[in-house]
Structure 1
Amino acid sequence: MSAAGPDAHSGSEVVDAPQDAATKSAPDYAVPALEKALDILELLAEQRGGLGQLEIARATDRSASQIFRVLTTLERRGYLHRDRQSGLYTLTLRLFDLAHRQDPLRSLDAAALAPMRRLAEGTRQSCNLSVIDAGRVRVVAQVESPGDFGFRVRVGALFPLESTATGAVIAAYMPSDAAVPGSEGDAAASIRRDGFLVRADPLQPSITDVVFPILGRDGRALAALTVPYVATSLSELPSDRVRDAAAATAAEISANLGL
């Protein structure tokens, strides 16, 4: 991880250091102590067992003295546990507790609705966001087309996982041990290779489903963004332009979720 300046050890920001043209366009607001804490949390999250102070220092490319106060603070705040006999640090359930205080659907809505509105406005097509719920596809967010026509899906609606394009995309990014139909096979492999699915809707004439996954850090699909593209003489954009816009929107939603 790059240092914020020549005195990165001290925790102070260096804002007047020379910068090239590319760097000037992206101001560096790094907080070194926070960077150390996040590096430690992310490192320990990947470990099955604990790590000692020297091991953590080596893995984060810092000295033991640099991380001592950070480790002490994280332990005091309840994010880390230090075994008194071995001296090894492990994560507590503090982060798990914080994550589960936040309604995941509320987080999805907050991250997705603004980008989805821009997608609907730019393509003149409706779009929706879906998750897996008890083995079926549930629509959790929907933005209608601002045009005079469009295909609307009710928020809360449930659809079969196996027979929908949205379900196929979510299933393709689920691990094989999750017992989700459609997570393996040539069709799932093709979706993972392309990163999306464009498929004619088998139930609705003149509709092509354009679906992109919203992926977590572990590669699983947390949700799927679907544009039920209505192909008529009134459509303002061809399906490939809508596909590109949906790809950008899915990437923006992922970024908003911190993924």
Structure 2
Amino acid sequence: MPSYAVPALDKGLDILELLADRNDGLSQAQIAAETGRSVGEIFRVLQTLERRGYLVRDPASGLYTVSLMIFELAHRHPPLRGLVQAALGPMRRLSTASGQTCNLSVLDARRVLVIAQVESPGPFGFQVRVGAEFPVESTTTGAVLLAWAGADLQRAYLEDLAAREPAVADRFAAEVASVAAAGYARESGRRLVGIVDIVFPITGTEGFPAAALTVPCAATTDPVVDLDAIVELARDTADEISGMLRPLR
């Protein structure tokens, strides 16, 4: 099949992919330099993306950042919308019973994407922004997602990681195997000292992205956090969500 290039579309996608990986904004000149194009080539593309709501331009600095438009579009997709709708009720009950924040994530290409969160009802709780993305190998949630993502996807991801970072791939492959054997993950201080991540897979999700329920427990002494009890609450909640998804296959 012949390949038909659409230059303007290529420019727009290059810009979105570039800015999606940046926490800070970029100027028009910086975007041009990073994408290997001239300012004149990208000027109208930037204007169109801003007008359509995909980019936001700070009026003071002139820096462009990605809006939440793409995230909102993803949530209109029926499988993802159905997953969130099924999960929110059980997640609210889990948060109330545990006194902790909990979140729901999916595997999105090479990233862990947080798609829903229920905040802690108490004075303490670790929150992750809905829409936040993390490299799969950098989180406990990523290990659980990959462990239940299917053999083909798991192999492809680990092979790609090995080509880029062999030592990291070896460690992560061992972690994925350990998580799969245990049926869940419980790890302290992976990304932040004082936080224990308890993560269970959401199973029975054919037609849905691979998903995981995470409870990032903030350790406090008043009251003392009972991690074993939270593990059981999270297990029951993941089972409940999984059971709600199976009839939707």
- Alignment TM-score > 0.5, same fold: yes
Verify: 1:198 aligned to 2:186, yes or no.
Answer: yes
Report 1 or 2 for greater relative contact order, CA contacts < 8 Å, sequence distance ≥ 6: 2
* TM superposition shift of 1:235: 4.2
Match of 1:188 in 2: 176
Aligned to 1:138: 113
> Quick one: which of 99, 109, 128 aligns to 2:84?
109
Which of 170, 192, 195 does residue 145 from structure 2 map onto?
A: 170
Q: Any gaps of 5 or more consecutive residues in structure 1?
A: 1-100
Displacement of 1:102? 6.2
Q: How big is the alpha-carbon RMSD for the aligned residues of Structure 1 and Structure 2?
A: 2.3
Q: How many residues align?
A: 158
Aligned letter for 2:246? G
Q: Are the aligned partners of 1:123 and 1:236 in contact in 2 as well (CA < 8 Å)?
A: no
> Equivalent residues in 2 for 1:62-141 (5 A)?
103-141=78-116
Counterpart of 1:210 in structure 2 is 198
Give the distance between the partners of 2:224 and 2:245, measured in 1 at CA.
Answer: 30
Distance 2:131 2:79 in 1: 15
**Residue deviations 1:227-258, cap 9 Å, x none?**
00111112454111001000000000001112
1:207–1:231: 8 Å Cα contact kept in structure 2? yes
Identity of aligned residues (%): 49
TM-score by length of 1: 0.56
In the superposition, relative to structure 1, how do residues 137 and 185 fare at CA in structure 2: closer, same or farther (>3 Å)? closer
- The separation in 1 between residues aligned to 2:180 and 2:82, in whole angstroms, is 25
SS of aligned partner of 1:203: coil
Q: Which has the larger radius of gyration?
A: 1
CA distance in structure 1 between the partners assigned to 2:132 and 2:195 by the alignment: 18
Deviations 1:179-220 (A, max 9, x none): 1237984322221121100001322111000000011266x9
Q: Which residue of 2 aligns with 1:250?
A: 238
Q: Does 1:160 align with 2:148?
A: no
Higher helix share: 2
**Residue correspondence of structure 1 range 11-90 to structure 2 within 5 A:** none
